[in-house]
Structure 1
Amino acid sequence: MRKLALISVALALPLASCGGEVAGDEPLPEGEADGFAWPVSVAAFGDGYPAAGDPCMRLGESAATSNYLDDSAVLVGCPTAVQAGALGGEIVAEIDGVTVVSVSMGDANVGMSENGPPPPEAAAAAPTSRAVAIRGPNSLETRCADRVAAETGARVIGTNRIEESEAAIAIYVNVDGAAAPWRCLAYRDGTIGEVMFASSEGDL
């Protein structure tokens, strides 16, 4: 009887060991890949971040994550702080065992200035107004005539002459009844500066 009992125990041990191996080969429940269970609170999705199979995952919108979502960044969750730090973003929270990191998407716009709009600095440096024509509709000449007419209350009957310089443009106009023309100092941005009567002893 004693030998029979020993034989029974010896046969039972390999069977128990074999049963343990079978239990260990069972797949982990869904959401527990690599032994980490992703909580529903972080709304994790995808098959890994930044590449498929990586331990971190992108996070969607939920009551727990909504304060950290940003249009200019990707919200990612990692099982450990070390994995989160390796992404190069900013660790913003830890939610139910998940380290939450915000990864900026700013690098996606690098090189845009080559084929797209100029950067803000270049746009600010660009001229904000175009030079106004000296003659023609709404030109420096017509603006000068309107200004002189307003100053004198008389009719401007034509342009006497125009003298250009680097600093300003002198426009001389003839005024009905005046012994000499009136002069405007005009600037290429469209402004009319000094308006004065050009006496025959001075500017003529």
Structure 2
Amino acid sequence: MSLRCLYQPDACQRLLACSAALFLASCSEAAPPPSSEATAGDLAAIPDSLSPFGDGYPNAGDPCRRLGESAATSRYLDHTAILVGCPSDRSASAVGGEIVATIDGVIDGVRIVSIPAEGAMAGSGVGPEADAALASTQDDPLVDGTPYNATAAIRCGLDGDAPVSNCDAGVRRNWNGPGTALVEITKPDGRKRAIFFEDGVAFSAESAQSDGWAAYDFQAVRNEDQTTVRFGPETYVIVDALVRGG
């Protein structure tokens, strides 16, 4: 203990108080409180229960991802729009569209965003992939009087039947970026079924009608130049030439 503390105890107490305050201040500057925000790696985690695919949306490396069909997403699927999963309000706002649900239990919840197909194309400001999609669409004109790049009759089977009947089909190529395709099939009763492709591979199916499709299992099997899609009691045989053109 210093002589000053022996003869001037009040001054010593003030000195100790100041030293403690300076120590606490230096600790606060050296070790700031942890941020309440999750790391980028955590934010990018989209659970398998949402059937995510791709390396990011709208561009590779972005935190949002496209969503396929699952028990958690089927009620929001509509072939006139795409579903995207985003880890935060900020990333969801960046892609546009409408937040239709928040799935809790993953960081701060995953936002399910529905984006109209037209909004996902070029001119919507969602990135260079959409601009490339528009350029490729201009090189692949629509069939007169239709929204399709090509139309054809494909083999189909409904209600568990073998695919020996014909159903009218049309394809919208690059509808949601390069390499994507939407094949819309008109069944004999007039209802439609949409089959989604990416890089020539069928990955999902859905309908705008309430016909129980959300409970259907999806299976796609390639055989040479065609894909056989089984969706619940329905079977469709779709040739590569329709999906890719050429």
More relative contact order, 1 or 2 (CA 8 Å, 6+ apart): 2
Larger strand percent: 2
Structure-2-length-normalised TM-score: 0.33
Structure-1-length-normalised TM-score: 0.38
Larger helix percent: 1
Higher-Rg structure is 1
